[in-house]
Structure 1
Amino acid sequence: MCLRRLLQSSQLQRTWRAAFLKHVQGRHPGARRWMHSGGGPYRAVIFDMGGVLLPSPGSVATEWEVQNHIPSGTIVKALISGGENGPWMKFMRAEITTEDFLQEFGRLCSEISKTSVPVDSFFSLLTSDRVTKQFPVMTEAITQIRAKGLQTAVLSNNFYLPNGKSFLPLDRKQFDVVVESCLEGVCKPDPRIYKLCLERLGRQPSESIFLDDLGPNLKAAASLGIHTIKVDDPETAVKELETLLGFPLRMAVPNTRPVRKTMEIPKDALEKYLKDLLGTQPTGPLELLQFDHGQSNPTYYVKLANHQLVLRKKPPGTLLPSAHAVEREFRIMKALANAGVPVPKVLDLCEDSSIVGTPFYLMEYCPGLIYKDPSLPGLEPSQRRAIYTAMNRVLCKIHSVDLKAAGLEDYGKHGDYIARQVQIWTKQYRASETSTIPAMERLIEWLPLHLPRQRRTTVVHGDFRLDNLLFHPETAEVVAVLDWELSTLGDPLANVAYNCLAHYLPSGFPIQPGLSGCDLTELGIPTAEDYFRMYCLHMGIPPSENWHFYVAFSFFRIAAILQGVYKRSLTGQASSATAKQTGKLTEFMSNLAWDFAIKEGFRVFKEMPATKPLTRSHHTWSLLRTPGTRSYVTSTDSSPAHASKGALIFSPEGLSPRVRELYQRLKEFMERHVYPAEPELQRHQASAERWTPSPLVEDLKVKQPFVSTAQPQLVHWPYLFLLRQ
């Protein structure tokens, strides 16, 4: 059945509307009048964690019990068993270790269910990235509360992880105070822990509101004079909180916030400019909000009477000549709109810096949904598949634009796109280098030697990913592609590979949530390889054999960008903790890039002819090839494969019998043990335990003694092969 007919079914329409309500954070402007703006008696809002900011352990337990065929209610009964002296509450007060808790809790669950209960599995799920994502409606409520000058706090019955750190998967910068039971040795509903939180906030009970999902905890808070809200559903709780505070906690325009102090622009000059541009004299004040997503160029929501606009400007300060080129953005969006690509309608380019401080352009505001999480939580598998298909098709539409007809032939250079990009980002990396990163050194040597032949030159977006697309709220239709700042002419396959990077990142990755470790089949999301094949099918082109090269290049590019951010952060523009984290992300990305370089090297190796040994050609053709590209011109001789000591070995048949046997055993070991373990190894590398040896790696060392005993120096043989290509 075609997508259009699917979307016309009333049932699916209702499902899309439900998803819309989940993702849209706000209502239509003017939908509700507010009595006052932050001037009420409340000066602090205190949040519980599980069941308020995050899913409750009870809801996680219900799902887990079904999946593991455990009698319903077993986990919850065990959690409350024993009251204050039960294993759960003792664990919350750090009176017992994780190991002791799991042993005691497992015994209790088994007694309740009359069957063996794998509580380790439940604990892993409870602390996994999949169930520790803060509810978006709560995140926005906290943002609005703090924007009004009120304090926020977390008051949680919490526990220690095996690594000695407390389990707090929240951004601490959202809160003025964090109080955890495991650190204080006292739990809710003990009045002492509420008094401790109020004392650290410097507030009276009557000035505070407390949100929790458990009645006893709320009763204890209310007995002290704190106003309480019972949280059964985050959306409903936020509505009640709005009523108490007297101001909206969800912006009328999704993904916006009040304009930051450092990004304020003069309203009077802008209003006069808009009145002249629009040719009318609208009444009512100018409304201004700032978008909170993807802001290398500050972007604002502007409303004047019935006109809803978006203003995108250069940032203040001294800029590089080619950086933040809003003029190019305006040009490309105007041209693509005429070519049928869904982009916002641009209205005017203003290069007069006297109006808002820097040049800017205006476009019409497009309402819609932005999906920030590539796993698309809250949608059905069929909807996720439709979203990814729509994203794929709009990328094909961009790559199909006729450059001459669109007037974009001079929008960038033709040919050698990857070569130029490698040179640019190598230069940028060298300029911001702070220490030697081995993977980056290998990539800088390897990438120029393996440049693919560019088949076509098209418009490339430069940052094409799911959260730069605006979707229709009720269908899988892309209504606008946003953020064209990095667009140019180049190799379209680089766009496709970049579009798939989320597939290889962990779900809890700090820059962008990823899909690594997710069951894509269950979610209805195509794999990266399936997505690439879908693209080739839509474009009517054969799949490229060097897909892994493009992915390696894309991760290399991101690593170089992150290194620049890290270098700038060391100058004092960010905290040392932030700087340290960014530096580690650079290394993580470069390691991922090198992983794909290795895969590309093995692909090339497997495709080499195996009948006769191949040696380098030194005749005239090799001298005429384009510098920086691989030569496929080879010559053969009739000498034995391993007779010439100076010959470079291209095929296993060119190895000595003993080494050939070792190669075969190494290959089998990689295919049987290493490749299947890659997702787990990547998760460990992105986790808090990444600086401790991975148990899986230690296990692999035990399983491959033949490598170290037979020929230790050949452990890195695949790397040597890659560097010689």
Structure 2
Amino acid sequence: MTVPTQDPSDIRDAPTEDFIARSRRLFPVEAELDRMLTRKMRKRAQPRNPAAYSLDALVGCLERFLEDHGGPGQRIGNPRWMAGGASKIQVAFTLDRPADGGGTEQLDLVMRMEPAESINTTSRLREVQLLDFFQDKLPVPKVRWLDDDARWFPEPAIIYDRASGVTRPTDQENRVSGIGQRFSTKLRQELAPQFMDALARIHTADPAAVGLEAFHRPELGTTESALLQLNRVRRVWHEDHHFSFPLFDAAGNWLERNLPVLDHATILHGDFRAGNFLFDEGSRRITAWLDWERGHIGDRHRDLAWTTTSSFGNLAEDGKTFLVSGLIPLDEFYHEYERRTGLPVDPARLRYYRIFNCYQIITTALCSAWRIVHLGKTHQDVLIAWVEGVGYSQAQELRRLLLEEL
């Protein structure tokens, strides 16, 4: 593989400490996200070493990690890449180890790690804290270990139990990241109530509970929550962009002028939709909720606007009724949400976060995706390059939404 060369004229390919410091000053974000974004920028100029991310190399990392954490008598078996996901490297494997009371036990595990640079720079520590927090509240994978400072792996990584189930019916066409996934009427009847129950459990959980120390709790009655999220996207754009985009600038100005006040602090999944849960086809039960990497504490309308995005759903058999994540009609979704949570849905804040979500997707697709493909920093170059195309349809949607507001 030929590793692309960096452009010496583009400071974003090899950012200086002054550039990084200025970015941090301009766009203050939560402390844990600042730590991860700063780490990303300081590592960016380092040339990619594809050999360090090969399956054999990662198995070697696993062996050294488990030797230091699990003791003697452990054996890794059947290591293999896991398909799916555009932003993380995932390796499935079995682990045979001595069992309490004698004999051996076999664990079916997954190692989940950042690539050299991700389209979504997120915190494994926060992901672990959410998974631990929801262990007794939702079906989520059990975390076994965390390498938060990348001491054993090339990047921060977690090791957790591999959950059983599928993301889509096996007789259905596979779709990238679950976009536009379809379910039969019978399957919808079984999955939709579980889908709504999980969202309600997340949004009614106590964000002040012990165990979420890596999360910032925004102040109620202020615009702090929305501003921190806006700064996060603006910082990523500032650090990744490679062209001028007046529509993006106009949207950012509108978002800043219309920051909503936080009325209720909510734990957010960040990517709650079809494609991010597994279910058992026989029992029609959801077996695991995955991909908590974008989780944070903030305004529930951010999740609601994201989950109801048109590209994550489809039309029912009548060709008219929009199904949220292919599961539940939109009006019924809002009604069930308010009934299950006791929290109102504010149309104005919903519209704000629809605009914000377009703004974020454009940043991911047109900036971060381009930058990491340009630098050869991803394990899925073809898929990430494809993601760039999503940015233009989202730009058209952003333009439409802004015109409605103006």
**Same fold flag (TM > 0.5):** yes
- Indicate the larger mover: 582-591 or 519-528: 519-528
Give the Cα–Cα distance (whole angstroms) in 1 for the partners of residues 343 and 51 of structure 2.
47
The 8 Å contact of residues 376 and 384 in structure 1, kept in 2 or not, is answered as: no
Give the Cα–Cα distance (whole angstroms) in 2 for the partners of residues 323 and 454 of structure 1.
25
Identify the match of residue 126 of structure 2 among 319, 328, 333: 328
Give the Cα–Cα distance (whole angstroms) in 2 for the partners of residues 567 and 548 of structure 1.
28
**Pairing 1:168-317 to 2, within 5 Å after superposition:** 262-264=53-55, 265-268=57-60, 270-271=62-63, 273-274=65-66, 277=69, 281=73, 286-305=77-96, 306-316=106-116
1:596 and 2:401 aligned: yes
Q: Residues 383 and 374 of structure 1: is their aligned pair in 2 closer, same or farther, counting only changes over 3 Å?
A: farther
1:341 and 2:148 aligned: no
Q: Secondary structure at the match of 1:470?
A: strand
Give the Cα–Cα distance (whole angstroms) in 2 for the partners of residues 579 and 311 of structure 1.
21
Q: Deviations over 1:658-707 (max 9, x none)?
A: xxxxxxxxxxxxxxxxxxxxxxxxxxxxxxxxxxxxxxxxxxxxxxxxxx
Q: Match of 2:306, as an amino acid?
A: Y
Structure with bigger gyration radius: 1
Q: Match of 2:160, as an amino acid?
A: M
Q: Residues 441 and 404 of structure 1: is their aligned pair in 2 closer, same or farther, counting only changes over 3 Å?
A: closer
Q: Match of 1:326, as an amino acid?
A: R
Give the Cα–Cα distance (whole angstroms) in 2 for the partners of residues 269 and 578 of structure 1.
26
Q: Residues 522 and 591 of structure 1: is their aligned pair in 2 closer, same or farther, counting only changes over 3 Å?
A: closer
Q: Secondary structure at the match of 2:135?
A: helix
The structure with the greater share of residues assigned to strand is: 2
2:301 alignment partner in structure 1: 493
The 8 Å contact of residues 310 and 362 in structure 1, kept in 2 or not, is answered as: yes
**Pairing 1:185-584 to 2, within 5 Å after superposition:** 262-264=53-55, 265-268=57-60, 270-271=62-63, 273-274=65-66, 277=69, 281=73, 286-305=77-96, 306-316=106-116, 323-338=121-136, 340-351=137-148, 353=150, 355-371=152-168, 373=178, 376-377=181-182, 379-408=183-212, 411-415=215-219, 416-501=224-309, 504-505=310-311, 515=314, 519=319, 521=321, 525-546=327-348, 547-568=350-371, 571=374, 573=376, 584=389
Question: Alpha-carbon deviation of 1:367?
Answer: 0.7
Q: Deviations over 1:26-51 (max 9, x none)?
A: xxxxxxxxxxxxxxxxxxxxxxxxxx
Q: Residues 434 and 363 of structure 1: is their aligned pair in 2 closer, same or farther, counting only changes over 3 Å?
A: closer
The 8 Å contact of residues 314 and 322 in structure 2, kept in 1 or not, is answered as: no
1:586 and 2:383 aligned: no
Q: Match of 1:548, as an amino acid?
A: R
Give the Cα–Cα distance (whole angstroms) in 1 for the partners of residues 265 and 274 of structure 2.
23
Q: Residues 336 and 474 of structure 1: is their aligned pair in 2 closer, same or farther, counting only changes over 3 Å?
A: same
Give the Cα–Cα distance (whole angstroms) in 2 for the partners of residues 450 and 525 of structure 1.
32
Q: Secondary structure at the match of 1:302?
A: strand
Give the Cα–Cα distance (whole angstroms) in 2 for the partners of residues 576 and 279 of structure 1.
37
Give the Cα–Cα distance (whole angstroms) in 2 for the partners of residues 583 and 367 of structure 1.
31
Q: Residues 303 and 474 of structure 1: is their aligned pair in 2 closer, same or farther, counting only changes over 3 Å?
A: same
Give the Cα–Cα distance (whole angstroms) in 1 for the partners of residues 111 and 239 of structure 2.
33
1:6 alignment partner in structure 2: none
Give the Cα–Cα distance (whole angstroms) in 1 for the partners of residues 150 and 259 of structure 2.
42
1:210 alignment partner in structure 2: none
Question: Alpha-carbon deviation of 1:536?
Answer: 1.8
The 8 Å contact of residues 267 and 286 in structure 1, kept in 2 or not, is answered as: no
Give the Cα–Cα distance (whole angstroms) in 1 for the partners of residues 213 and 190 of structure 2.
33
Q: Residues 308 and 260 of structure 1: is their aligned pair in 2 closer, same or farther, counting only changes over 3 Å?
A: farther
- Give the alignment's TM-score, normalised by structure 1: 0.40
Question: Alpha-carbon deviation of 1:336?
Answer: 2.0
Q: Deviations over 1:559-610 (max 9, x none)?
A: 12112135416736499999986555323212212323344x3xxxxxxxxx
Question: Alpha-carbon deviation of 1:363?
Answer: 1.3
**Pairing 1:6-25 to 2, within 5 Å after superposition:** none
Q: Match of 1:411, as an amino acid?
A: F
Q: Secondary structure at the match of 2:208?
A: helix
The 8 Å contact of residues 93 and 110 in structure 2, kept in 1 or not, is answered as: yes
2:23 alignment partner in structure 1: none
Give the Cα–Cα distance (whole angstroms) in 1 for the partners of residues 391 and 316 of structure 2.
21
Q: Residues 388 and 374 of structure 1: is their aligned pair in 2 closer, same or farther, counting only changes over 3 Å?
A: farther
Q: Deviations over 1:95-133 (max 9, x none)?
A: xxxxxxxxxxxxxxxxxxxxxxxxxxxxxxxxxxxxxxx
Give the Cα–Cα distance (whole angstroms) in 2 for the partners of residues 463 and 597 of structure 1.
23
User: Number of aligned pairs?
Assistant: 329
Q: Match of 2:338, as an amino acid?
A: C
Q: Percent of aligned positions with the same letter in both sequences?
A: 20
Q: Secondary structure at the match of 2:281?
A: coil
**Pairing 1:126-141 to 2, within 5 Å after superposition:** none
2:36 alignment partner in structure 1: none
User: Structure 2, unaligned stretches of length 5 or more?
Assistant: 1-49, 97-105, 169-174
Give the Cα–Cα distance (whole angstroms) in 2 for the partners of residues 544 and 561 of structure 1.
27
Question: Alpha-carbon deviation of 1:294?
Answer: 1.6
Q: Residues 347 and 553 of structure 1: is their aligned pair in 2 closer, same or farther, counting only changes over 3 Å?
A: same
Q: Residues 446 and 474 of structure 1: is their aligned pair in 2 closer, same or farther, counting only changes over 3 Å?
A: same
- Give the alignment's TM-score, normalised by structure 2: 0.69
Question: Alpha-carbon deviation of 1:331?
Answer: 2.1
Question: Alpha-carbon deviation of 1:308?
Answer: 0.8
Give the Cα–Cα distance (whole angstroms) in 2 for the partners of residues 411 and 579 of structure 1.
28
The 8 Å contact of residues 167 and 276 in structure 2, kept in 1 or not, is answered as: yes
Question: Alpha-carbon deviation of 1:462?
Answer: 1.9
Question: Alpha-carbon deviation of 1:421?
Answer: 1.5
* Structure with greater contact order relative to length (CA < 8 Å, sep ≥ 6): 2
Q: Match of 2:255, as an amino acid?
A: L
User: Structure 1, unaligned stretches of length 5 or more?
Assistant: 1-258, 506-512, 602-721
Q: Match of 1:542, as an amino acid?
A: P
The 8 Å contact of residues 366 and 388 in structure 2, kept in 1 or not, is answered as: yes
Question: Alpha-carbon deviation of 1:328?
Answer: 2.2
Give the Cα–Cα distance (whole angstroms) in 1 for the partners of residues 342 and 294 of structure 2.
26
Q: Match of 2:127, as an amino acid?
A: E
The 8 Å contact of residues 225 and 299 in structure 2, kept in 1 or not, is answered as: yes
How large is the RMSD of aligned CA atoms in angstroms? 3.7
Question: Alpha-carbon deviation of 1:401?
Answer: 1.3
Q: Residues 567 and 410 of structure 1: is their aligned pair in 2 closer, same or farther, counting only changes over 3 Å?
A: closer
Give the Cα–Cα distance (whole angstroms) in 2 for the partners of residues 301 and 584 of structure 1.
30
Question: Alpha-carbon deviation of 1:263?
Answer: 3.3
Q: Secondary structure at the match of 1:395?
A: helix
Give the Cα–Cα distance (whole angstroms) in 1 for the partners of residues 364 and 213 of structure 2.
28
Q: Residues 387 and 597 of structure 1: is their aligned pair in 2 closer, same or farther, counting only changes over 3 Å?
A: farther
Q: Secondary structure at the match of 1:286?
A: strand
The structure with the greater share of residues assigned to helix is: 1
